[in-house]
Structure 1
Amino acid sequence: MGTKSAFNWITLWASLLFVVILGFSRLSYGMFLPGIQRAIGGSYGQLGILGTVNFIGYLIGTLCLSPLLSRFPDHKHVINRLTCFLLGLALIGSAFSDHFTELGLWRFAIGLLSAFATVLVLSIAMDAVRPAERGTASGLIWLGGSAGILVTGIFAPFTIDPAHLQGWRYAWAAMGIFGVIAAFGFEFVTKRRGSAQLPSSPESKPQDQESVKAYRLFLNPKKLLFLIGSYFFFGWGYIIYFTYLIPYLVSKGIPSLYAGLVWSAIGFAGLFNGWIGGKAIDRWPSGYTLASGLAIGTIGVCGVITDDLFFTALGAITIGLVSFITPPLMTTALLRRHVPQNVYAASLSIATAFFASGQIIGPIVGGVVVERYSLHVGVASSAIFMAIAALLAVLYGQQQRKLEIRNLPLNI
């Protein structure tokens, strides 16, 4: 069946799944930390480790997906269906955690499943969209994560306020139920539109060769090294900010309603981020476009340094508007445009692994800074890594420009 415009039912349901994959399964944890701490104990540094456990699962899932697809090359839709359903059930299961270890196991499982779902949902949805509109479609899908943050923040008074000790449990259970419904919806529209018959990327034995070729591209400073480095440091920086921002606001005595509004403001601004970022990368498919969003995001993080609620909230909105969804969707779109088709699947998997590695290191480093100094310094430290990501994106843009001037293809 032919490809479609960026606005279609598959893209819509993929976006609803990203509400769960990103907004609910990953980033809601930072929002719920104060409530979780009151319910099961532990310091913020220790609970931050569970964020690392989540992304260890995410990294393992990313690394396992490619060989899994090699083993079952014609079952991409089946694997995605099972993964999305299990992710919703894992969210429901995590709501019943009473101990640190138990919650850690659920966070690991959620990370593993969300890694599978991220790549598969994006891959299946992008296969159904015209090449010229894939940046826009990617933006529409990723903005689901912003919608998830928006919804999570609205219910902050019921999830982090001391008067509602079990509120985070009810919220996670509801999120899991929504995830199961979204999985059913995505499965229905992909079957109805005939997308289940779309050809998948070549697998089997060539997959190993594709991975080797993709690594050559990523480890070559004249090709994609700076792009993947930027993605790595973005993962490192943004996860520190999203893990410790709400605990920092709560520690300042800010009412849960206001803390939730700050969180929701990130999500609301991110709804425009997905559309703006997708349009921008379609029109200017360059590392400089990526660097612009990261640089403005770095300035947004610096709002925390003022230790003032107004500037912290303004900075959070800025991050939501230009640098929350933008780096993942732009990196995805740049790879789709500039990586040979025969290694795209392997490239996306490897890029996601680098991103996950940054998210593993981030909570550990952030937790150490929080324990040694304060929540304030811990949140502010994310600006350092966002700035490094912006610089590397500039270097990638320069390298990309040199290739264009010489009219050279991105050969392996």
Structure 2
Amino acid sequence: MDKLVASGGQKNSGTRSANAVRGTLAGFCASLVGIGLARFAYTPLLPAIVDAHWFDPSQAAYLGAANLAGYLIGALAGRPIAAGDRSAICLRGMMILATVAFFACAQPASFIWFFVWRLLSGMAGGVLMVLAAPAVLPLVRPARRGLASGVIFMGVGVGIVASGTLVPLLLEQGLRDTWLGMGVISLALTAIAWNGWPSQAAVPKPHPHPRRASGNRLLRALYVEYALNAVGWVPHMIFLVDFVAHGLGKGLQVGAEHWVLFGIGATVGPVLSGMLADTVGFGRALRTSFVLEAVAVAVPACGLNMVWLMVSSVVVGAIVTGTVPLVLGRLHELLAHHPAQQIPAWSTATIGFALCQALAAYGLTFVFSASGGDYGLLFTIGSAAIVLALATDFIGTSAARHEATQDG
């Protein structure tokens, strides 16, 4: 009997491990399709669309903004449309929607047609960001969730690398074939992920006791930190290539090389951050990332040589994607006894991130224009935002500890 029980236990453990691997792979594919390709592949496509006279520069820029607007809509709508046990159906549907959007954009149709499909692809990305990781992580042993979440969000970095390498190669075959090629890749990734999603939420039962006020304080602080982090990396995301190419006079080729370095960092960042979190905890790992990010974002404003700028590109790229699993993991820690609140809280954090990212993009563009093209000022503001995020973390933690001591 003991052997039979042991055999059954090993079988259940093996099944859970296999489900965790499939789920993690599905999450990786979702972040690659919804964010990595649907958003970042458009960056190198934009000048090609203008050169092919599909749209003029201002229209092409509005199409890029449509994706960001759709992302915010998706972040807002993700939780309601996946209510109950519909997460798997919703995740499959959003990956299909992002795939169809690539094929729909393969012909030079009207501006409204393109706008709608770019909006829908952004919405799919927002839903996938909100739902994919929370649906999968309960399948993973707690000691390995940092690494698993890192692998899931590594898809964003892979998409950035693809935007600087694969898309230019596809463009040699023509703009239409590039859209079709991205659609085929997205379709293949959707097929790989199809059976990886859990059929229902695999979360522990809620803790019977209400959550402490200190937990609420830490959760609010985490929302603020994540939003400020969005502000901090906007200078690199939007202005890095232009800074290298025009600000330093190195040309577009060198600027593109720094973008690839940024993408390489974004690819490995989530995995390294997840491994660090599994070792020291999500809270400490997040604070460490803020320190590194504040320094790396400030490098372009310090007038250092190109080697330092290359390091800055890689480090900021790594932390841009690396903070995502860290914030999600920290959120799960704070709501460990209230799993039903985890997806709503992650949705709130994602919405705040999306809003501050959009506001920072427009705000820093205005500052750049008003300052006469002062790149250094942009990177200084970005670094200051990260320092403020770090200060928010320390203040929130200190206040929570003080409150817990008084309650004790």
- The verdict on a shared fold, with TM-score over 0.5 as the criterion, is yes
**Cα distance, 1:353 vs. partner?**
0.9
Larger Rg: 2
- AA matched with 2:393: Y
How far apart are the structure 1 equivalents of 2:369 and 2:180?
Answer: 31
**Cα distance, 1:14 vs. partner?**
2.1
What's 2:24 paired with? 11
Residues 391, 76 of structure 1: alpha-carbon distance in 2 compared, 3 angstrom cutoff: same
TM-score, normalised relative to structure 1:
0.79
How far apart are the structure 2 equivalents of 1:230 and 1:249?
Answer: 28
How far apart are the structure 2 equivalents of 1:242 and 1:170?
Answer: 27
1:56 pairs with 2:69: yes
- 1:145 corresponds, among 142, 153, 156, to 156
Contact 2:94 2:124 in 1 (8 A): yes
What's 1:381 paired with? 378
Contact 2:31 2:125 in 1 (8 A): no
What's 1:208 paired with? none
List per-residue Cα deviations over 1:60-116 (Å, max 9, x = no partner): 21212222233xx12211111111111122133335456665544333212111111
Contact 1:35 1:159 in 2 (8 A): no
What's 1:233 paired with? 228
How far apart are the structure 1 equivalents of 2:50 and 2:379?
Answer: 22
1:326 pairs with 2:328: no
How far apart are the structure 2 equivalents of 1:257 and 1:381?
Answer: 22
Contact 1:301 1:380 in 2 (8 A): no
List per-residue Cα deviations over 1:101-151 (Å, max 9, x = no partner): 554433321211111112222122213211222111101111121122122
How far apart are the structure 2 equivalents of 1:150 and 1:359?
Answer: 21
Contact 2:19 2:196 in 1 (8 A): no
How far apart are the structure 2 equivalents of 1:366 and 1:295?
Answer: 22
Tell me the SS of whatever aligns to 2:291. helix
How far apart are the structure 2 equivalents of 1:376 and 1:102?
Answer: 37
How far apart are the structure 2 equivalents of 1:168 and 1:383?
Answer: 38
More deviation, 351-360/9-18: 9-18
Give unmatched runs, 5+ long, in structure 1.
203-212
- 1:277 corresponds, among 273, 290, 296, to 273
TM-score, normalised relative to structure 2:
0.80
List per-residue Cα deviations over 1:163-204 (Å, max 9, x = no partner): x6x8565444322321221111111334xxxx32554799xx
What's 2:94 paired with? 83
Residues 246, 329 of structure 1: alpha-carbon distance in 2 compared, 3 angstrom cutoff: same
Structure-to-structure mapping, 1:121-270, within 5 angstroms: 121-155=132-166, 157-158=168-169, 170-190=177-197, 195-199=198-202, 222-251=217-246, 254=250, 256-270=252-266
How far apart are the structure 2 equivalents of 1:57 and 1:16?
Answer: 20
**Cα distance, 1:154 vs. partner?**
1.9
**Cα distance, 1:233 vs. partner?**
1.8
List per-residue Cα deviations over 1:197-218 (Å, max 9, x = no partner): 554799xxxxxxxxxx99x999
Contact 1:13 1:186 in 2 (8 A): yes
Question: Of the two structures, which has the highest relative contact order with CA contacts closer than 8 Å and spacing of 6 or more?
Answer: 1
1:350 pairs with 2:348: yes
How far apart are the structure 2 equivalents of 1:333 and 1:116?
Answer: 18
Structure-to-structure mapping, 1:310-321, within 5 angstroms: 310-321=307-318
Residues 406, 368 of structure 1: alpha-carbon distance in 2 compared, 3 angstrom cutoff: closer
- AA matched with 1:42: P
- 2:286 corresponds, among 286, 290, 293, to 290
Give unmatched runs, 5+ long, in structure 2.
1-11
More deviation, 286-295/92-101: 92-101
Paired residue total: 383
- AA matched with 2:340: N
Tell me the SS of whatever aligns to 2:189. helix
What's 2:35 paired with? 22
How far apart are the structure 2 equivalents of 1:183 and 1:156?
Answer: 19
